[in-house]
Amino acid sequence: MINLLPQNEKQKLFAMKRERLTIILGIIFLVFLVCLSLILLAIKFYVLAETDFQKSLLSQARKENQTEEFSNLNNVVKRYNVILGQLSSDYEELYFSQVLKIIADIPIPSGLNFKDAVLTRGDSDSVQVVVSGICDTRDNLLAYKNSIEADSQIKNPIFSEESWISPKNVNFSLTFEIDKNAK
């Protein structure tokens, strides 16, 4: 095809073509911006709806948790947390395993059996131990008493008076202290 148009007409056509291309690209860009704003608006409404839903769930949970039963349960949990904290510090400071090892290292005569042992905190550096049990004879209990008194880690061993009444099948109770710093 031969282009017989004068140069001015060719430039006008080229300018019109450029103008149309610019308008088309501008319209495409505007459509893109409108679609993007609609998508962002939809996301905004979705997020707002979700936050409102979560706020309503939170307010409902708060209302349920403000009942008298829940507050009582909350107080009980707080009280037990305080008690557990104290127990934890007691176990950390008392070194119960060392105390039990000291008690286990004392020679025990045959026929002597423990029924109960209670370890409690004495003053800041000691553990008070209460042991009860049964012994077949008073002589074996006396041998155990001598073993306890011979141990330098045990302080103030005291047998109950009932421990010495019967000569056979003796129920005894013993109280003593162990210094946690003693080795």
Asked whether residue 110 is assigned to any structural domain, the reply reads yes
Asked whether residue 63 is assigned to any structural domain, the reply reads no
User: 173: domain CATH number?
Assistant: 3.30.70.60
Per residue in 108-130, pLDDT (tens digit) is 888 888 888 888 876 667 788 88
- pLDDT bucket at 91, cuts 50 / 70 / 90: low
Per residue in 139-183, pLDDT (tens digit) is 888 888 888 888 888 888 888 888 788 888 888 888 888 876 655
The strand ranges marked E within 23-165 are 112-121, 126-137, 154-159
SS3 for 70?
A: helix
Domain count of the fold of the chain? 1
177 DSSP β-pair partners: 128, 155
Residue 95 scores a pLDDT above 60 = yes
| Better pLDDT: 87 or 62 | 62
Tell me which residue has tokens 């946690």.
Answer: 180
Q: In sequence order, what are the residues at sequence separation of 6 or more whose Cβ sits closer than 8 angstroms to the Cβ of residue 24?
A: none
Asked whether residue 136 is assigned to any structural domain, the reply reads yes
Asked whether residue 50 is assigned to any structural domain, the reply reads no
For residue 146, give its domain range.
Answer: 95-179
Tell whether pTM > 0.75: no
| Better pLDDT: 165 or 37 | 37
Question: Are 109 and 148 in contact, with CB atoms under 8 Å apart?
Answer: no
